[in-house]
Amino acid sequence: MAKGTVTQKIIDRHVITGSKEAGKVVSIKIDQTLTQDATGTMAYLELEAMGVNRVATELSASYVDHNMMQNGPENRNDHLYLQSIAKNKGVAFSPPGNGICHQVHLERFGVPGKTLLGSDSHTPTGGGIGMIAIGAGGLDVALAMAGKPFRLAYPRVIGVKLTGKLKAWCAAKDVILKLLSILTTKGNVGNVVEYFGSGVATLSVPQRATITNMGAELGVTTSVFPSDDRTKQFLEAQDRGRSFVRIEADAKAEYDRVIEIDLNKIVPMAACPSSPDNIRTIEELSGNPVGQVIIGSCTNSSYRDLAMVAEALKGRKVHSSVTLSIAPGSRQVLEMLAREGKLADMIAAGARILETGCGPCIGQGQSPAQETITVRTFNRNFAGRTGTRGDQSYLVSPESAVAAALTGCFTDPRKLDFGMPQIPDVEKFNINDNMIIPAAADVNSEIIRKPTIGNPPVNNPLPEKIEGAVLIKVGDKITTDHIMPAGIYLKLRSNIPQYSRVVFDCFTEPGKPSFAERAIAVRDSGRHGIIVGRDSYGQGSSREHAAICPMYLGVKAVVALAIERIHKANLVNFGILPLLFADPADYDRIEPEDQLLIENARRQLGVGKPMEAEIVKSDGKVIPVKLVHTLSEDDIRIILAGGMLNC
């Protein structure tokens, strides 16, 4: 078992209940929370439903960065609600235009050694300054704001030993792509990735934050770097030197597993369609024509990244067969680029400058043409996430992205005919917090709630007999983007009845009833919906809508071979049973439209207890199956009640 790690030092100081043994459930105190608008509206509605007057954390911040297209009134209605509820409950508010939650939080609020829970899966970005920063569903974040501890499996710690130093044009993004090629996106639940070794000091905070950010794609609980001199320098440059605390692993720290990465050997890489772990080198891809390049997202839109891009573009021209779009991660980044003339260099080279925010990363505009390659500095390339069906989305570093933008094809940036621009650590960032509304609870202030904002739906207690109908059977690595698409539907996040219509939209065949239509027919017949998944079901985002909307449609259980951490927690929170086939071969025995019957479901549900069920085929044949789960006593209590809002 790991010993003396940064992970344990921080978690142990926050444990409230439970035993500090890998895999055992512990509850920890949460110091800070963050929400973003696409998950935040529901989270604050849930907070209201809990009757909380004022948040109980050291700091809670609410960001608007996802839903900013304002196509119709929904987005702005959400913003007004979020701003007013922030004022009412004592939450700091970062309005649209101020930047992506993770980037702004790192710059202005994050504190080494603290715990941060965010209703966004890329919250681990905070691990770049030595926080234990965890992504969760909105309801868990609402509970943390209410002062309740957060429950998690005490983690195993994977130590990633970094040695050497990155060579020119080889980037922090390539380090995390390398790790994704080793660990892949599945099978890592319950682990924290912790970086150590002599290579750590060679990486700046923005580089570390790129690595911890995209660590989310590994499916781990979080990723963390020590808080050291580079962290101190970063915080001082943000005029927040007083927040610095040194946190380093013991010299003799032990890890549950060690992976060594020699930074000298890192080369430019890409995650190929349509999974962040489908890794190839840029050299292997070189020469393939590229139609679009986008630089931005919470992974790669820091001042360091965009200043490097600006200098590479300076005096050059974007290739005529490519469009290059750039979305700075925060207003701080944008303002600095503008003041230093770097923005002008980007514009002069032909870049299209986008608003600071998530934008194309979550399918808000800039969808690529069909059968063309899009190259992005983002962290996810799940099929269709760009807004184009059959998209070919490649994830790369800003270094490789700018090389593609200048040449019109995949080009190993080391082959460019100029040297990599060197961007030294910033000595003083441009500090301008004038858009942030600081936290000050005014419990009598008006909460603005326009008609597009509905109530969080409530569920019924778990029935004694689950008369399940298999609504869908899907394969491995189904992401929450498959379950609940974002893009043009993102604006429906505050309206569950409407958003529910597009559950599993990507699997709807033309002319055939949608998942929602089938689910409603089953629900109306008094039976229950069942989803069958395979390995690593529910990867990716923290969106609790991937549980709320199926729940609203009458789904009572997800049965799979493995279910990812955040999604499993969301299923529990909304009263859906996350079950696993005890015998993986049963996955092959069950088909869509089969019945899955679980008699005495309430009585059968116990910690570590398998459940007996029956598959009933359309010809009446009955196959007994054993279902297992990893539910704790608390989880079971919540599920029996029909979800957390009934507890």
* Cβ at position 551, least distance to ligand SF4 in Å: 23
Could you count the other beta carbons within 10 Å of the beta carbon of residue 426?
19
- Secondary structure (DSSP) of 533-545: --TTBTBS---TH
The answer to whether residue 358 forms part of the interface with ligand SF4 (CB under 6 A) is yes
By the rule CB under 6 A, 297 interacts with ligand SF4: yes
Output the 3-class SS for 62-108: EECCCCCCCCCCHHHHHHHHHHHHHHHHCCEEECCCCECHHHHHHHH
Sheet holding 292-295, edge to edge: 279-281, 269-271, 392-395, 373-376, 292-295, 323-326, 352-353
Task: With CB under 6 A as the rule, give the number of residues binding ligand SF4.
Answer: 11
> Whose CA is closest to 494, among 551, 447, 449?
449
Regarding 541 and contact with ligand MIC (CB under 6 A), the answer is yes
Q: Give the burial class of 616: count Cβ atoms within 10 A of its Cβ; 0-12 exposed, 13-18 middle, 19 or more buried.
A: middle
Query: Cβ of 73: how many Cβ atoms within 10 Å?
Result: 13
Q: Does 300 bind ligand MIC (CB under 6 A)?
A: no
Selected range binding ligand MIC among 367-375, 498-506, 510-518, 540-548, rule: CB under 6 A: 540-548
Residue carrying structure tokens 């099929």: 383
Q: Which stretch binds ligand SF4 (CB under 6 A): 318-326, 354-362, 382-390, 490-498?
A: 354-362
**Residue 297 touches which of ligand MIC, ligand SF4, none (Cβ within 5-8 Å per kind):** ligand SF4
Provide the minimum distance between the beta carbon of 140 and ligand MIC in the complex, in angstroms, as a whole number.
Answer: 12
Cβ atoms 115, 478 nearer than 8 A: no
Q: Which is nearer to ligand MIC, 115 or 121 (CB)?
A: 121
100 binds, among ligand SF4, ligand MIC, none (CB under 5 to 8 A by kind): ligand SF4
**Reduced to 3 states, what is the DSSP secondary structure of residue 177?**
helix
Among 34, 100, 134, 373, binds ligand SF4 (CB under 6 A): 100
**Residues pairing with 195 in the sheet:** 160
Query: By rule CB under 6 A, what string of x and - marks binding of each residue 348-367 to ligand MIC?
Result: --------------x-----
Place of tokens 């992401």: 479
CB closer to ligand MIC out of 70 and 198? 70
Interface with ligand MIC, residue 402, by CB under 6 A: no
The smaller minimum CB distance to ligand SF4, of residues 120 and 635, is found at 120
Beta strands in 457-574 (DSSP E): 466-473, 528-532, 555-560
Q: How many CB atoms lie within 10 A of CB 630?
A: 18
Q: Which stretch binds ligand MIC (CB under 6 A): 259-267, 275-283, 388-396, 539-547?
A: 539-547
- Rounded to the nearest whole angstrom, what is the least distance from the CB of residue 168 to ligand MIC in the complex? 30
b/e 161-199 (16+ beta carbons within 10 angstroms → b): bbeeebeebbbbbbbbbbbbeebbbbebbbbbbbbbbeb
Q: Which of residues 614-643 bind ligand SF4 (CB under 6 A)?
A: none
Residue 432 identity? N
Position among 486, 596, 598, 615 found at the interface with ligand MIC (CB under 6 A): 486
Over the window 125 to 144, marking each residue x when it contacts ligand MIC by CB under 6 A and - when it does not, the resulting string is ----------x---------
500 binds, among ligand MIC, ligand SF4, none (CB under 5 to 8 A by kind): none
CB atoms within 10 A of CB 259: 15
Give the integer Cα–Cα distance in Å for 147 and 169.
45
- Active-site residues, by number, are 65-66, 120, 380, 541, 543
Going by C-alpha positions, the residue among 537, 540, 535, 536 that lies closest to residue 555 is 537
When asked if residue 74 is in the footprint of ligand MIC (CB under 6 A), the reply is no
Q: Which of 5, 7, 33, 39 binds ligand MIC (CB under 6 A)?
A: 39
Identified binder of ligand MIC from the candidate list 491, 543, 556, 629, rule CB under 6 A: 543
Which parts of this chain interact with ligand SF4 (CB under 6 A)? 66, 100, 120, 122, 297-298, 358, 361-362, 378-379
Which parts of this chain interact with ligand MIC (CB under 6 A)? 38-39, 66, 120-122, 135, 362, 380, 486, 541-543
